[in-house]
């Protein structure tokens, strides 16, 4: 059987949920069936160092995505891939414009997009996304398949974007359980602030932006006594605003912004409780990863976070979205409970990378 060429198109390869999923696919697709290429508008990001040696990386070396469209089209026509796969919102939208043109020369190619968030909710919270949303409604059907990460996301796309339901596929996010176990044993990065702390350590992790709701979590911290310490793992555009808020709420002794760390799992393992305070999510990797470390997660039951991923009082607990008083109450309650780590870890088995990659392979093999 002829191997199928899969071209993944991303902006950069920085740390993020979409990049992590694509990294898993690049490294784990069956090499007897697929040849894998990665096109980046900017060849940078720590995940590049985790790619298998046989992944062919193309660098468009672009200052801006929109001004490098011709380079992307040229590369696609040159490689003549069987599958073109995108998973970053603005790249998804840009490529959708040119799919009808590309189909003239690549009649049998499949163009597949993976949605990274709940589109209608994203448009509500982000001004730039409102403008993009207008074009998204008109162009998303140009793709052959649209991957949603959950039933909730699929319903949102079908209800708000007039998408052909036959094009919709639900594939959950994968996690590499072996890689997580390996990083949990990494002695070089084992020492961190709260392994020697006498505090009840709360951990939250993610890019510092409004979506993640860290400002709401800070309000919850004002209701907890000095036995509790919040550790925020990640970097982003909201750092200055969060630092100011920490000072204004007199939380300097109760909150630490840890910045980015390449191995978040050692922090997860040693945390007393893990919290997800997002206003909305696609399919939150942090819950899967925390559960893989045997950790219970308290999360807002926001759009994209629900019973599909959290079974109450088994691997976590859902709290009314935005209710910081209830969040503080549940943090206090569950930080005193010894949750069964073995049972929590078992909930992640269905998301194991080898299982999820097989679902993608079945979809990719539909190309002629």
- Which pLDDT does position 116 carry in this prediction? 87
Q: Are 125 and 210 in contact (CB under 8 A)?
A: yes
What's the gap between Cα 62 and its chain centre?
24
Checking if the pLDDT of 78 tops 70, the result is: yes
Compute CA distances 40 → 61, 196, 318, whole Å.
8, 41, 37
What does the angle CA 60 – CA 11 – CA 98 come to, to the nearest 5 degrees? Answer: 75
| pLDDT tier, 114 (very low <50, low <70, confident <90, very high otherwise) | very high
Rounded Cα–Cα distance for residues 359 and 259 (Å): 34
Positions of CATH 3.40.50.2000 in the chain: 4-174+352-364, 177-350
Superfamily covering domain 4-174+352-364: Glycogen Phosphorylase B; (3.40.50.2000)
- Which pLDDT does position 127 carry in this prediction? 55
Checking if the pLDDT of 297 tops 70, the result is: yes
- Which pLDDT does position 194 carry in this prediction? 63
Superfamily covering domain 177-350: Glycogen Phosphorylase B; (3.40.50.2000)
Average pLDDT, the chain: 91
Phi, psi of 31 (to 5 degrees): -70, -10
88 CB contacts (<8 Å, ≥6 apart)?
A: 10, 11, 18, 116
| pLDDT tier, 22 (very low <50, low <70, confident <90, very high otherwise) | very high
> pLDDT per residue over 34-53, tens digit each?
999 999 999 988 888 889 99
What does the angle CA 260 – CA 265 – CA 267 come to, to the nearest 5 degrees? Answer: 70
Rounded Cα–Cα distance for residues 107 and 174 (Å): 30
Range among 4-18, 185-199, 314-328 with highest mean pLDDT value: 314-328
| pLDDT tier, 132 (very low <50, low <70, confident <90, very high otherwise) | confident
Rounded Cα–Cα distance for residues 136 and 196 (Å): 49
- Residue 232 pairs with which residues in a beta bridge? 204, 257
Range among 85-89, 148-152, 356-360 with highest mean pLDDT value: 356-360
- Which pLDDT does position 93 carry in this prediction? 86
pTM > 0.75: yes or no: yes
């Amino acid at each position: 059987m002829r191997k199928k060429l899969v071209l993944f198109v991303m902006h950069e390869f920085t740390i993020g949920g979409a990049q992590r999923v694509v990294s898993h696919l690049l490294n784990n697709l069956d090499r007897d069936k697929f040849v894998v290429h990665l096109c980046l508008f900017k060849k940078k990001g720590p995940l590049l160092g985790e790619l298998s040696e046989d992944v062919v990386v193309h660098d468009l070396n672009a200052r801006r995505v929109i001004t490098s469209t011709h380079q992307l089209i040229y590369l696609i026509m040159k490689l003549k891939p069987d599958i073109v796969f995108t998973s970053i919102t603005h790249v998804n939208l840009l490529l959708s414009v040119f799919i009808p043109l590309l189909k003239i020369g690549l009649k049998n190619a499949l163009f597949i997009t993976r949605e990274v968030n709940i589109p209608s909710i994203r448009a509500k919270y982000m001004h730039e996304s409102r403008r993009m949303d207008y074009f998204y409604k008109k162009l998303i059907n140009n793709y052959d398949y649209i991957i949603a990460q959950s039933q909730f996301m699929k319903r949102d796309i079908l209800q708000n974007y007039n998408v052909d339901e036959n094009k919709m596929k639900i594939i959950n996010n994968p996690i590499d359980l072996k890689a997580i176990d390996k990083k949990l044993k990494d002695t070089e990065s084992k020492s961190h602030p709260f392994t020697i702390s006498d505090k009840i350590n709360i951990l939250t992790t993610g890019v510092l932006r409004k979506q993640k709701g860290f400002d709401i979590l800070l309000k919850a911290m004002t209701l907890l006594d000095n036995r509790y310490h919040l550790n925020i793992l990640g970097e982003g555009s909201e750092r200055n605003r969060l630092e100011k808020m920490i000072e204004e709420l007199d939380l300097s002794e109760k909150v630490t912004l840890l910045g980015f760390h390449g191995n978040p799992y050692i922090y997860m393992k040693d945390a007393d409780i893990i919290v997800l305070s997002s206003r909305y999510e696609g399919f939150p990797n942090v819950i899967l990863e925390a559960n893989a470390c045997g950790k219970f997660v308290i999360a807002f039951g926001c759009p994209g976070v629900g019973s599909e991923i959290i079974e109450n009082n088994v691997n976590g607990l859902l709290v009314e979205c935005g209710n910081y008083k209830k969040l503080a109450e549940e943090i206090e309650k569950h930080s005193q409970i010894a949750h069964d780590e073995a049972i929590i870890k078992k909930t992640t088995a269905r998301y194991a990378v080898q299982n999820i990659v097989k679902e993608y392979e079945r979809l990719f093999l539909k190309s002629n």
